[in-house]
Amino acid sequence: MADMSPLFRRGTAKSPQERLVTLIRKPGCHLCDDAQIVIEKVCGDLGVPWEQKDISQDPQLHDQYWEQIPVVLVDGAQHTFWRVNEDRLRKALTG
């Protein structure tokens, strides 16, 4: 029987429009502003939708991420925190 784990399935790669980048941030955070600039550029170039969530409005996000802000999720999984590397984010969305 063939291995059908996700790594070996063909045709399961997501197109850029099927991806989602989430920036988890808080008001007044200069690192969050820097992260947003990178996300806007990369997602804009690739046509990837993105959203932002404010930890001051969500107790669960606050409890989970308050020490790591800003946090970037790709498709719901943590990609990075504090500083966003443009090349690394681009590779995660296209690789």
**pLDDT at residue 12, rounded to an integer:** 56
Closest C-alpha among 92, 66, 90 to residue 79: 92
CATH architecture of structural domain 16-94: 3-Layer(aba) Sandwich (3.40)
**pTM listed for this prediction:** 0.83
How large is the average pLDDT for residues 41-65?
97
The DSSP output letter for 18 is G
Residue 5 has pLDDT above 90, yes or no: no
Among 68, 95, 79, which residue's Cα sits nearest to residue 39?
Answer: 79
Residue 91 or residue 95, greater confidence: 91
- The span from the CA of 12 to the CA of 30, in Å, is 37
Give the C-alpha separation, 52 to 20, whole Å. Answer: 11
Per-residue pLDDT reduced to its tens digit, 64-84 = 999 999 999 999 999 999 999
